[in-house]
Structure 1
Amino acid sequence: MKKFCVAAMALCMMLSCAQKQQQKEEAAAPATTLSGLNPADFTSEVDGKPVALYVLKNAKGAEACITNWGGRWVSMMVPDKNGKMTDVVLGYDKLQDYISSTGNFGALIGRYGNRIANGKFTLDGVEYTLPQNDKTNCLHGGPNGFDRQIWDAKQLSDNSVELTYVSKDGEAGFPGNLNVKVVYTLTDDNAMDIKYEATTDKKTVVNLTNHSYFNLSGVAGSTILDHQLSINADNYTPVDTLFIPTGIAPVEGTPMDLREPVTIGDRINGDFEQLVKAGGYDHNWVLNTKGDINQVAATVVAPTSGIQMQVYTNEPGLQVYCGNMMAEKENGKHGVVYPRRGAICLESQHYPDTPNHPDFPSVVLEPGQTYKSECIYKFSVK
């Protein structure tokens, strides 16, 4: 009997130790986010600077994740029509995958979002030469734009993070030391409010945006061809074969007329010169909102989930890209394979190649001025 008691006590001690060890390991293990991301997979040091995943939450239980590598919006969890939390932002679940990719999933774009023809522009009689990373164009600030920089990050609150970056005079050929601040805020009405500010010590050009890829369906690996799209714009900027604007044209009577909701798949392959040139929708629309951020600039709805995204901005233009150049198979978060046209991007902006089009709204920033831009992506259920 005595031997039995000793053995039982020993067994209890072993079980207790094992339980404590398990609890210790669980406490040490980082908790995953609502979107299933492990913050440890984003915690690193790149070029001597710390990189992390910043988790934003609001009062309604929505969640967004941001990494300061490229200022990227990694995930956005919002409820669908059945209340199921759904990630509507495409991307990767590890920092290394972002670093290895040449794509712009979720990235902050600068100094100049979109294209500048021939990688050149002239300011006060001085010609500036930029890297050509899109045939002869400079696209999204070049191959080492803001999307591949480590931003300094400061979490302001549970629902807001501030990112700052200093782009030095001559970086990617652009003039002036540019001090940039971007604040991501997840509001209590399930919107991501992105505010941009910048100042310079030398006359320069600035056009900042976010390049998130959205799929609202809640169906892993699906396309956005069933999504319904409307854009508050009477005009757009048609492009040449290199995607450089040739002017401003009315949407009336063309497949570019999206003033009323249209199922993307019904029009994207239409026999229309601009759609053929771009391989689908990849154009800048001239918004009717005239800088009024209280007016809806664009709306996207996914019938399968009932999730609706409305875009508000003080910018004059909106680039709409429907994933025409996405790889046929892109391995994304949680092993999901993203197909061609697996997402839609809505990039608030001034028009493409504006520095070479004096008739377009100016993108010039001078010392003493503050560049301010804002874009709100508001999610709801329709």
Structure 2
Amino acid sequence: MTVVVGVGTEAGIETRRWGTLPDGQDVQLFVLRAPNGVTVTLGEYGARLLRVQMPDRDGVPGDVMLGHPDLTAYLEQEDALYFGATVGRVANRTARGRFELGGQEYQLALNNPPNHLHGGPGGFHAVRWEGTALEGDESLNGVAFRYHSPDGEEGYPGAVDVTARYTLGDDGWLSLDCWASTDASTPLNLTNHAYWNLADGGAGSVLDHTLLLPAARFLAVDDNAIPVAVTQVEGTPFDFRTGKPLGQDLDVDDAQLWGAGGYDHHFVLLNGGEGLKQAAVLADPASGRRMEVWTTENGVQLYSGNFLGGSSPGGSVVGWNGERYGKHSALCLETQQAPDALNQPELDRLGAGSIIVQPGQTYHTRTRWHFSVTH
């Protein structure tokens, strides 16, 4: 069991020792607080969101995402679930773990057979990032995590220097900005893999949460979760454009739902182009908690927690308050470019540009979450 010790304060940010990695590296966590009662805990391992807490309509604070106080839980159990992690180099699935770039074929790990998933078993989620509390600007309440990914790491070409910066505003906005540069052509498609439950942080189900997704199209997938068609949501269980309970159509006799065990699909956002666009609105009617998601990406992957609860490695795990997370105890809203875009140029073009980054270019992605309460 990892014990949190050595509490300190730096630039208004609480810094703690979280634990030690098997190679002897110390790992820190950071706690950010906003005047409206939102508290965010971040950790260096995986540059991840560890905990988000906010008041309900009665002012009672509570957890709104899944996570664990113990570092060893992430080291031993969570690689298959990516709780709160910064995921890369390429989020989501790459068919057969193969892609071609510059006339050369690359073979990646098949950690989601027969596909490559979320950057591989040793991807950005499974390494220590160096975290620094932001200083010198009183308007910034946050932490910058930095990592150097060497050439060839997890089979990807080029060395990459990446920064993941989380900031928490007084107005209830939590922002994640990721920047990266490379010395050789390489694909980059980063996301955050938080699991959200606005009611009780994962003690119960999210099927009664209302979800709005401003997306007229989603990507239908084959039996291996690889996209096969850009499909209209109209007339399908995938139409969330006016908002509905997550579980309303979950048991509909639909091949896409049955094949994935629920929702695990990429939605193409309506308002394309550059700049921030609304990706989702999630609300819990019981507590009054509400979360908006905004992003610079062209799409969002909705995952309805189909394999939480012991159905996959690390599935039956204990959270901050001792809850055992069950099936559909949370959902993910992963802002990103399309899965398998490396092998399907037509999907790559759904975004504002290619996921291939060249030397001299700066990769940047931004996701913002706004937390509020309805009365």
Match status 1:357 vs 2:344: yes
Structure 2 vs 1, CA of residues 50 and 32 (structure 1 numbering), >3 Å: closer, same or farther?
closer
The one-letter code sitting in structure 2 at the alignment partner of 1:183 is R
Aligned to 1:71: 47
Q: CA deviation at 1:79?
A: 1.5
3-state secondary structure, aligned to 1:175: coil
Deviates more, 1:96-105 or 1:65-74: 96-105
Structure 2 vs 1, CA of residues 355 and 341 (structure 1 numbering), >3 Å: closer, same or farther?
same
3-state secondary structure, aligned to 2:164: strand
Structure 2 vs 1, CA of residues 291 and 330 (structure 1 numbering), >3 Å: closer, same or farther?
farther
Q: CA deviation at 1:220?
A: 5.6
The one-letter code sitting in structure 1 at the alignment partner of 2:130 is D
Check conservation: 1:44, 1:51, Cα contact below 8 A: yes
Q: Partners of 1:241 and 1:146 in 2: how far apart? A: 27
Aligned mate of 2:282, from 276, 300, 308: 300
Which has the greater radius of gyration? 1
Deviates more, 1:48-57 or 1:342-351: 48-57
Aligned to 2:213: 231
Deviations 1:354-377 (A, max 9, x none): 000111252110001000000011
Q: Partners of 2:189 and 2:286 in 1: how far apart? A: 35
- 1:272-287 superposed matches below 5 A: 272-287=254-269
Aligned mate of 2:62, from 65, 73, 86: 86
Q: CA deviation at 1:39?
A: 7.3
Structure 2 vs 1, CA of residues 110 and 294 (structure 1 numbering), >3 Å: closer, same or farther?
closer
3-state secondary structure, aligned to 2:228: coil
Aligned to 1:153: 131
Check conservation: 1:43, 1:53, Cα contact below 8 A: no
Q: Partners of 1:260 and 1:159 in 2: how far apart? A: 34
The one-letter code sitting in structure 1 at the alignment partner of 2:178 is Y
Aligned mate of 2:362, from 363, 367, 370: 370
The one-letter code sitting in structure 1 at the alignment partner of 2:49 is W
Q: Partners of 1:349 and 1:305 in 2: how far apart? A: 29
Aligned to 1:338: 325
Q: Partners of 1:45 and 1:356 in 2: how far apart? A: 35
Q: Partners of 1:219 and 1:286 in 2: how far apart? A: 27
Aligned mate of 1:251, from 218, 229, 233: 233
Q: Partners of 1:82 and 1:288 in 2: how far apart? A: 35
Check conservation: 2:16, 2:30, Cα contact below 8 A: no
Aligned to 1:132: 110
Deviations 1:258-285 (A, max 9, x none): 1011111111121111111111111000
Check conservation: 1:293, 1:312, Cα contact below 8 A: no
Aligned to 1:144: 122
Structure 2 vs 1, CA of residues 194 and 40 (structure 1 numbering), >3 Å: closer, same or farther?
closer
Deviates more, 1:155-164 or 1:226-235: 155-164
Q: Partners of 2:292 and 2:23 in 1: how far apart? A: 37
Q: CA deviation at 1:46?
A: 4.6
TM (norm. structure 1) is: 0.88
Query: What RMSD in Å do the two structures reach over aligned CA positions?
Result: 2.0
3-state secondary structure, aligned to 1:338: coil
Check conservation: 1:41, 1:94, Cα contact below 8 A: no
Deviations 1:137-187 (A, max 9, x none): 000011111100000110105720000111111111100001101100111
Aligned to 1:203: 185
Check conservation: 1:308, 1:381, Cα contact below 8 A: yes
3-state secondary structure, aligned to 2:229: coil
Check conservation: 2:37, 2:61, Cα contact below 8 A: no
Q: CA deviation at 1:313?
A: 0.2
Q: Partners of 1:178 and 1:363 in 2: how far apart? A: 14
3-state secondary structure, aligned to 1:315: coil
The one-letter code sitting in structure 2 at the alignment partner of 1:197 is W
TM (norm. structure 2) is: 0.89
- 1:32-181 superposed matches below 5 A: 42-101=18-77, 102-157=80-135, 159-181=141-163
Q: CA deviation at 1:297?
A: 1.6
Deviations 1:36-67 (A, max 9, x none): xx976713355243201111122333210000
Q: Identity over aligned residues, as a percent?
A: 39
Match status 1:316 vs 2:308: no
3-state secondary structure, aligned to 1:222: coil
Q: CA deviation at 1:30?
A: 5.3
Aligned length: 351
Match status 1:380 vs 2:372: yes
3-state secondary structure, aligned to 2:100: strand
The structure with the largest helix share of the pair is 1
